[in-house]
């Protein structure tokens, strides 16, 4: 499917009354509230009639009673980034930002994302789906150590462990299984971490991530002051363009549209490995898409405006 790249808006009145959907009930609620407040302030600064709504099970009633014209989805995790709210908004006939039901559901599910990528011949680590610590041990025998053990349907690195030895199998399994019944096991790829943002049909400048922690985990993403974000990423221009093309292929393979982010690692042999898609990335002061957009010449307010524009087009 070819994404419609942009419907340009110059008058905030064209957006009408906008509901900024934030919060929700996922494990990423706190991050969503922070992202949502930043989006709300930026939209209002640009003259948009925007209203923040902390999403609960009565959200559809609130949207109907509030007579909203469209929704800016800034819900992270399950219940907001997994196709659920997108499907509900489709039922109401209310336009919304970002990807549709299919891409949202696929992007939230790391297992299905990997299966789509493998079907398209895109590079992603081998995997096993495990249902117990004993199955994790069997996966380690097949894949080797170290391993990444992660819940298949969780974001912000919640529930992820690095496993270097059999003594860690039980704890890693329990940590991931507490978040999701589907637990994914992959080889731990040693290399340089990158992320590539996507906005209205274009890949944004890549960001190289450096952290003194074991990996780019929840603390490194949202709280640590020693995480380094390199953008420009320092790669030769031709190499960066090839990797940005990989971002495009990875995002569009899952039917992504509007805006989003793709995370990947490049190993010591210069081989990229796709890790996951985020269809509603963070918009906090530590978030990655705003950083890349700034290097591309867009202020935070410009970026939020452009994301809201995506509610005016829906690829078919």
Query: 5: pLDDT confidence band, cut at 50, 70 and 90?
Result: low
Whether 49 is a known active-site residue: answer: no
User: By the 8 A CB rule, do 207 and 180 touch?
Assistant: no
How many secondary structure helices (H) and strands (E) does the chain include?
A: 11, 13
For residues 168 and 95, the model is more confident at 95
pLDDT at 220 over 50: no
Residue 19, beta-bridge partner list: 51, 71
Tens digit of each residue's pLDDT (9 = 90 or more) over 118-168: 999 999 999 999 888 888 889 899 999 999 999 887 755 678 889 999 998
Out of 104, 156, 287, 311, the active site residue is 156
| Cis? peptide before 232, omega within 30° of 0 | yes
Task: Give the single-character DSSP code of 53.
Answer: E
Calpha distance 157→162 (Å, rounded) = 11
Whether 28 is a known active-site residue: answer: yes
Both tokens assigned to 295: 């290097």
Tens digit of each residue's pLDDT (9 = 90 or more) over 272-294: 999 999 999 999 877 899 999 99
Q: Which of 42-56, 232-246, 301-315 has the lowest mean pLDDT?
A: 301-315
Out of 155, 282, 287, 309, the active site residue is 282
- The confidence score (pLDDT) of residue 199 equals 97
Where would I find the H helices in 46-183?
59-65, 84-92, 101-108, 110-119, 133-143, 169-177
Whether 14 is a known active-site residue: answer: no
- The confidence score (pLDDT) of residue 101 equals 96
- The confidence score (pLDDT) of residue 145 equals 92
Out of 240, 276, 306, 311, the active site residue is 276
Both tokens assigned to 232: 């420009």
What is the per-residue burial (b if ≥16 Cβ within 10 Å, else e) of 293-306?
A: bbebebebbebbbb
Out of 3, 23, 24, 28, the active site residue is 28
Out of 258, 263, 287, 306, the active site residue is 263
Tens digit of each residue's pLDDT (9 = 90 or more) over 172-217: 888 988 877 788 999 999 999 999 999 999 999 999 998 765 654 4
Residue 55, beta-bridge partner list: 23
| Run of H or E including 21 | strand 17-23
Calpha distance 223→288 (Å, rounded) = 14
Query: 80: pLDDT confidence band, cut at 50, 70 and 90?
Result: confident
Using a 10 angstrom Cβ sphere, with 0-12 exposed, 13-18 middle and 19 or more buried, the burial of residue 46 is: middle
Whether 61 is a known active-site residue: answer: no
Residues whose CB falls within 8 Å of the CB of residue 242, separated by 6 or more in sequence, listed in order: none
Query: 4: pLDDT confidence band, cut at 50, 70 and 90?
Result: low
- The confidence score (pLDDT) of residue 233 equals 96
Whether 282 is a known active-site residue: answer: yes
pLDDT at 226 over 80: no
């Amino acid at each position: 499917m070819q994404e419609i790249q942009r419907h340009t808006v110059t008058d905030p009145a064209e957006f009408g009354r906008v509901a900024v959907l934030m919060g929700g009930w996922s494990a990423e609620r706190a991050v969503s509230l922070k992202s949502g407040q930043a989006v709300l302030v930026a939209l209002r600064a640009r003259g948009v009639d925007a209203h923040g709504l902390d999403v609960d099970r009565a959200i559809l009633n609130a949207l109907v009673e509030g007579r909203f014209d469209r929704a800016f989805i800034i819900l992270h995790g399950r219940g907001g980034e997994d196709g659920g709210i997108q499907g509900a908004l489709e039922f109401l006939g209310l336009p919304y930002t970002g990807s549709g039901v299919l891409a949202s559901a696929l992007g939230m599910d790391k297992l299905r994302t990997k299966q789509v990528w493998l079907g398209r011949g895109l590079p992603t680590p081998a995997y096993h789906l495990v249902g117990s610590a004993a199955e994790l041990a069997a996966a380690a025998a097949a894949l080797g150590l170290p391993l990444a053990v992660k819940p298949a349907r969780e974001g912000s690195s919640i529930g992820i462990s690095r496993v270097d030895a059999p003594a860690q199998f039980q704890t890693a399994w329990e940590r991931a299984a507490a978040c999701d019944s589907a637990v994914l096991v992959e080889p731990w790829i040693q290399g340089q971490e990158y992320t590539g943002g996507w906005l209205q049909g274009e890949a944004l400048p890549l960001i190289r991530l450096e952290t003194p922690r074991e990996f780019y985990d929840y603390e490194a993403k949202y709280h640590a002051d020693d995480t380094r974000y390199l953008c420009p990423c320092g790669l030769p221009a031709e190499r960066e363009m090839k990797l940005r093309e990989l971002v495009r292929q990875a995002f569009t393979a899952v039917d992504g549209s509007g805006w989003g982010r793709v995370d990947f690692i490049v190993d010591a042999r210069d081989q990229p490995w796709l890790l996951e898609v985020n269809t509603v990335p963070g918009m906090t002061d530590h978030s990655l898409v705003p950083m890349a957009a700034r290097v591309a010449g867009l202020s935070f307010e410009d970026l939020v405006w452009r994301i809201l524009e995506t509610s005016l087009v829906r690829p078919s």
